[in-house]
Amino acid sequence: MSQLYVVVLVVIVIALLSVAVYRTSQVKTKADYLVAGRSLPAVVLVLTLLTSWIGAGSLFAGAENAYKNGFAALWQPAGGWLGLLLIYFIAPRARKFAQFTLPDLLEARYNQTARVLGTVAIVFAYVGITSYQFKGGGDVLHLIFPTTVSAELGTFIIAAFVILTTAMAGMSSVAYMDVAIGSLVTVICVIAAPYLFLHAGGWAGLHGVLPPEYFQVLGNYRFGPGHVQQSVGMGLTRALEFLVPTLLLMLGNQVMYQKFFSAKTERDARLSVIGWTLGTLVLETLIVAIAVFGRALYPTGEVALHPREIIPYTARHGLPAVLGAVLLGAVFAKVISTASNYLFSPATNLVNDVFVRYIAPGASNKRVLIVSRLAVVLLGCWALYQAVYAESILQKMLYAYTIYSAALTPVVLAAFYSKRVTAWGAVAAIGTGTVVTLVWDIQAVREFFPPILAARDAIFPALAAAVAAMVVVSVFTPKPAPEQLAQFAD
C-alpha cells in the first residue's frame, strides 16, 4: 500500500513541476510574473480561486473544528459563502481598476501611508497563512511515511517544494497548477464523502456514536452536577468568531483581487465568482462532512490527540487503497497550492509596493523578476520558521485572518462603496486593527484582561477599534478628491 501512496505523490509532484517549468518559459515581463499577463479566462479563474481559498485552513483547521464540534463547524466556511455574495458585485470593479496588488488600490484611493501600512498587514497575515500550509503538508507526509518522515521533516520538504515552484513562474505557475489541483480535489471529495457516510453506518450509525450537539446549529444545554445547566457545543459567540474573520478575509483577500486583476475581462471576473461560489459551497460542505464521518469512525487513538489530521488519517485508514491514496494526494496538492498562493502574494507586495515603488522605480523586467524570486525565498523561510513553532493550525488561522480582517477589509470595502472615508481615516483603521490584533494575542497582556475578555479572540475588539478609528478620523479630515473616487465608480 505504501508504494501506491508513493506513486500518487510522485505523479502529483511531477505534474506540478512540469506546469511550473513550462509556465516559467512564458514569463518575460513584470505583468507576466505578477498577474499572468492579465490573460486568465473565467474557467481558469474559477479553479484557481477555489483552490487558493480552500487549503490547510479548511482541510486541517476546518477539519479540526468539525472533529470537535460536528456540523456546527460549517459556521467557519459560511463566512466565505456570505462574502462571495458581495464579491459578485466587487469583481468587475476590481478588474476595471486593473493594477498589481491591493496596496496599489489603497494608494490610488487613499495615500502612500495607507499603501505602506497595508503592505505590512498583508505580509504579517499571509506569511502566517503560508506557515500553517507548510505544517499541514508536513502532517500529510508523516502520515504517509510514519517511520521515515517526521512531521517536522515533512514541513521542511513541503516548504522547499513550494518555495521552488512559486519562485519559478509566479502567478502564471500558481494559477495553472490550481486548475489541475482544483479539479482533482473536487472530484475525489464528491466520491469519498458518500463512501465514508455509508462506512460510518449512515445517519443511524452517526447518531449512535456522535454527541447530539454535533448535529445542531450551535449546541444545546445539558444538566451537569448539581442540576446546573451547561452549554454544550460551539455557542453563538464562538460561531461568530469563526464566521466573521472568514467573511472579512474573503471580502478583502488580496489573493482574490490579484486574480481579478489577472482576468482577461471584467466579464470573466464576474463569471468566475459564480463558479467559485458553487464550488465553495459544495467543497467546504464535503470537507466538514468527511471530518465528521472520520470522527465517528475514529473517536480515539492517535488522531484524537491531533484532530487536525482527521481528513488525511481517514483517507489513509478509512477508504479503499486507491481512493485513499488519491484523496491523500489531493490534500497534499491542495496544501501546496494554497501555500503557493499565500506565499506569492506578500512577495508581490514587497516587490511592487516597496522595491519598485521606493527603491528602484526604473528597474528593468529582468531585475524585477530576480528580486521577486528572492522575495519568495525570504518570505518562505520566515513562514517555515513560524510553521516549526506553531502547534495549533486552527489558532494560527484565526490569528492570520483577524489581522487581515480588522486592518484591511474595512478600508478595501470603503474604497469601493464609500465616498466619505478619507485617506487618514483609512490609515487610522489599518494601524489600529493591526496593533489591537497583535497586542491582544500577547499572553502577558491578556493576563490583565477580565476572564470574559481573555477567553475571546481578537476579531471583535480589533474590528470595532478599526471601524471606529476610520469613522472618527474621516469626520475630522478633508473629503477625498473627485479624481480619487472616479476610479472606483461603476
CB 371 within 8 A of CB 103: no
Which amino acid is present at 330?
Answer: A
User: CA-to-CA distance for 52 and 405, rounded, in angstroms?
Assistant: 17
User: CA-to-CA distance for 406 and 274, rounded, in angstroms?
Assistant: 26
Burial of 25 (0-12, 13-18, 19+ CB in 10 A): exposed
For the entire predicted model, the pTM comes to 0.73
CB 293 within 8 A of CB 197: yes
State pLDDT tens for residues 95-147: 555 555 678 788 888 988 988 888 888 888 888 888 888 988 888 888 888 88
Instruction: Note the pLDDT of residue 346.
Output: 85
Nearest CA among 343, 351, 164 for reference residue 254: 343
Place of cell 493576563: 447
Nearest CA among 23, 376, 27 for reference residue 179: 23
Which stretches in the chain have pLDDT values below 50? 220-232
User: CA-to-CA distance for 237 and 218, rounded, in angstroms?
Assistant: 10
Kindly list the domain boundaries of the chain, sorted by start residue.
Answer: 2-393
Nearest CA among 241, 323, 229 for reference residue 72: 241
Sign of the alpha-carbon dihedral angle for 400, 404, 405, 407? positive
Residue 319: how many other CB atoms lie within 10 Å: 21
Which cell goes with 314?
Answer: 481517514
Which cell goes with 104?
Answer: 496599489
The crossing angle, in degrees rounded to 10, of helices 365-389 and 151-199 is 70
CA distances from 151 to 63, 136, 186, 222, 306 (A): 18, 9, 26, 38, 12
User: CA-to-CA distance for 276 and 54, rounded, in angstroms?
Assistant: 11
User: CA-to-CA distance for 20 and 25, rounded, in angstroms?
Assistant: 9
Which cell goes with 181?
Answer: 489541483
CB 185 within 8 A of CB 338: no
Instruction: Note the pLDDT of residue 230.
Output: 38
CB 144 within 8 A of CB 9: yes
CB 298 within 8 A of CB 304: yes
Place of cell 470595532: 464
User: CA-to-CA distance for 194 and 191, rounded, in angstroms?
Assistant: 6
Nearest CA among 98, 88, 101, 95 for reference residue 408: 101
CB 140 within 8 A of CB 327: no
> What are the phi and psi torsion angles at 100 (to 5°)?
-110, -40
Q: Which helix (H) or strand (E) holds 400?
A: helix 393-407
CB 72 within 8 A of CB 217: yes
CB 119 within 8 A of CB 139: no
Instruction: Note the pLDDT of residue 77.
Output: 85
Instruction: Note the pLDDT of residue 229.
Output: 36
Domain 2-393 falls in which CATH fold?
A: Sodium/glucose cotransporter (1.20.1730)
